[in-house]
Amino acid sequence: MYSILVVDDEAKIREVIREYAEFEGYNVTEAADGMEAVNLCNTRDFDAIVMDIMMPKLDGFSTCKEIRKRKKIPVLMLSARGEEYDKLFGFEIGIDDYVVKPFSPKELMARLNVIISRNKNTAWGQALPETYTFEGLVIDVPGRNVYVDGNKTDLTMKECDLFFFLVKNKNIVFSREKLLSEVWGFDFFGDDRTVDTHIKLLRNRLGAYRKFIVTFRGVGYKFET
C-alpha cells in the first residue's frame, strides 16, 4: 500500500482527496500547513505528496524546498492560480506535476498514480555505462549526478530522467510526444509544452554544454555529440 501526504490548509480539500485516495487503496496522512508537512517528512517516508501552494506559516514552494533538502519525494502541487510563472518555478524546484483548482478528483488521482508509477518503476536500471563524459560534462548514471566543469548540477528528478533518456539515446531525434510517452508515461495528463519547459530548465543548468541538446524545429530534440 502506497502512502501519500496531503498538505492543504482547507480541511474540505484534504477530505475530498483522502476519500478518493483511500478508495484507490492509498494510506493517507494529512497536514494543515507547510511546517507540519516538513516535520512529518523528517520522521516518516511517503511515496508522494499532494500539496497546496498558498498556505499559512510556510507556502508550498518553500515547503517543497525544505523537504527536498533531506528526501526526494515526488510532489504534485495544487494552486488556485494558473499563471505560467508558478508552473515554471514549480518545475524548477523539482515538482513532478501541477494541478489548478478547482480540480477533478478523478484527474488528480490519475496524475498521482502516474507520478508514483513512474518513480517506482523507472527505466534507469538498464545496463548503462558507469559514466558518460563529453568535454567538461560528466554524467554519473548510477549516482544520478551530472557535473559541469567539475561542479555538481542540482537537477530535479524529472530533469534527470529526461536528460538520461536523451543521453542514453544520443544522436536520435525524439518528438515531444515520444518524450512525454517515454519519460512521463503514456497516460500523462499534459501537453508538449511540458517537454519544452523542462528542456529550457535543463539547458540553463548545463551552461556552455547546453549545445549538446539540439532542437529540431517542428519535430523535437536530441542529445548530439
Please give the chain's pLDDT, 225 residues, in tens: 789 999 999 999 999 999 999 998 899 999 999 999 999 999 888 999 999 998 988 999 999 989 988 888 899 999 876 666 777 777 878 788 888 888 899 999 988 988 887 776 544 334 445 688 899 999 987 778 899 999 999 888 888 889 998 998 888 899 988 888 888 875 555 666 888 999 999 999 999 999 999 999 888 999 998
Q: Would 126 be classed as within a structural domain?
A: no
CA distance linking residue 179 with residue 127, whole number of Å:
20
What's the residue count for the chain?
225
**Whether residue 115 is found in the same domain as residue 28:** yes
Q: Would 195 be classed as within a structural domain?
A: yes
**Whether residue 101 is found in the same domain as residue 24:** yes
Q: Would 170 be classed as within a structural domain?
A: yes
Domain extent, residue 86, equals 3-120
Q: Which of 95, 120, 145 is the last residue of a domain?
A: 120
DSSP letter string over 1-43?
--EEEEE-S-HHHHHHHHHHHHHTT-EEEEESSHHHHHHHHHH
Report the CATH number at residue 187.
1.10.10.10
Q: Tell me the pTM.
A: 0.59
**Whether residue 8 is found in the same domain as residue 77:** yes
CA distance linking residue 123 with residue 186, whole number of Å:
14
**Whether residue 182 is found in the same domain as residue 94:** no
**Whether residue 71 is found in the same domain as residue 20:** yes
Report the pLDDT value the prediction gives residue 190, as an integer from 0 to 100.
61
**Whether residue 177 is found in the same domain as residue 145:** yes
CA distance linking residue 108 with residue 57, whole number of Å:
25
**Whether residue 114 is found in the same domain as residue 27:** yes
DSSP 87: H
Q: Which residues pair with 78 in a beta bridge?
A: 52, 99
